[in-house]
Amino acid sequence: MPTDDLRHSFHVAATAAAIYAHLIEPRNYVGLSPLLVAVHDVRPVRDEQGREAVGYVGVERFRFGPLKWDNKLRVTLTPVTPDRRLRSAVVSPGAVRLVATVDLTPDGDGTLVTESVELRTPTVLRRFALGQATAVQQSRAAELTRRMERSPRSA
């Protein structure tokens, strides 16, 4: 199965702790990822390395003209390093697998946020999945910046 790696860094005028606190809560991903419209079945789980994590079902909504399709994702959100790194492992129908690692590095008056994504897809879905993952990564950066820079907790 082909694997693609995406990496995007951006600066947010908020502390690493405030950004981490926002990103560790699964329900905050609704709207943060533009396709994600719902989160449910949030529960404690263990990740592949046996670390404490949070599992949940995320619902992505795709629209194709007047048609819509809800794609249910199984997500494992792992706090790797408090206030510095977290990882999301996503299993999507169609054998699409994604692992996103977010690193938070204090930087001047804010935080450098670096999101690294490993995307594995069947060849037939590669172009579509890669396009969606790239667009979502860029949109998520813009929305996280907007949310954190207007938040009173960001300082």
What is the longest distance spanned by two Cα atoms in the chain?
47
- pTM summary value: 0.90
Q: What is the pLDDT of residues 46-78, one digit of tens each?
A: 998 999 999 999 999 988 889 998 999 999 999
Instruction: Give the model's pLDDT for residue 103.
Output: 98
Instruction: Give the model's pLDDT for residue 94.
Output: 86
Sign of CA dihedral 45, 50, 53, 54: negative
In 38-152, which ranges are continuous DSSP H helix?
A: 126-150
Q: What is the pLDDT of residues 106-121, one digit of tens each?
A: 999 999 999 999 999 9
* Residues 84-95, mean pLDDT to the nearest whole number: 94
Domains of the chain: 3-154 (3.30.530.20)
